[in-house]
Structures are given as C-alpha cells and as structure tokens.
Amino acid sequence: MNPRQLVYIALLAPFLALTSYVLATTGLVGFYAEMSRSASTVLSMVDLTISLSLILACMFVDSRATRTPFAPYVCVTLAIGVAGPLLYLLHREALSRAHAAQRA
C-alpha cells in the first residue's frame, strides 16, 4: 500500500464513521430535514452538491482514460457524498499499481 492510499483511507475511515453515527441517530430523512432548517445549511448543501458534481465530472473523464469503473462510485457519491470519490481514488490507485506490475 502506497502513501496515497494510506491518506485516502485516513480520510475515508473517520468520514464513514461519522456518516454512520449521523444516519444512526437522525436517519436519512432527519438528516435532510436538519439540512433544510436554515439558510446556512442550505448554502452548505448547495455548495457540496456543486463541488461533488464537479468532482464527478472529473472522475468521469478520468475513468474513461484509465478504464476504471465509474457507475458504482456515482451511486456511492449520490448516497453518502465524498466517500464515492475517495473509494474511486483507492480503486484507481490499486489498478494503476497492478498495471505497472504487469508491465514490469
């Protein structure tokens, strides 16, 4: 495992733990109800939506170039946010290492 993968895991693990905690305590409907309570949280949701949309566009282009699967990571991104791109990066890094090993 290379340093990039360790960074992705270090970001992903606490994010998934926090996501699990929030969904266990508020539920998905409760989460969206809380996010729509004030203009500040609505702004955060809009910002996050735009940011993740841009990341998904970059992932799509990259997935075509590297032949990395794209659809599963879109589903994860739509369901729980940034976990999708982080998992994509982990998978992409593993694939590039495997391709490099095959060439050697």
Q: Mind listing the pLDDT tens digit for each residue in 20-49?
A: 999 999 998 998 899 899 999 999 999 999
- What pLDDT shows up at residue 57? 98
pLDDT higher than 80, residue 104: no
- What pLDDT shows up at residue 103? 78
Spatial contact of 4 and 93, defined as CB atoms under 8 Å apart: yes
Q: Mind listing the pLDDT tens digit for each residue in 76-86?
A: 999 989 999 99
Q: Where are the domains of the chain?
A: 3-103
Closest CA to 68 of 42, 97, 43: 97
Long-range (24+ apart) CB contacts under 8 A made by 29-33 are none
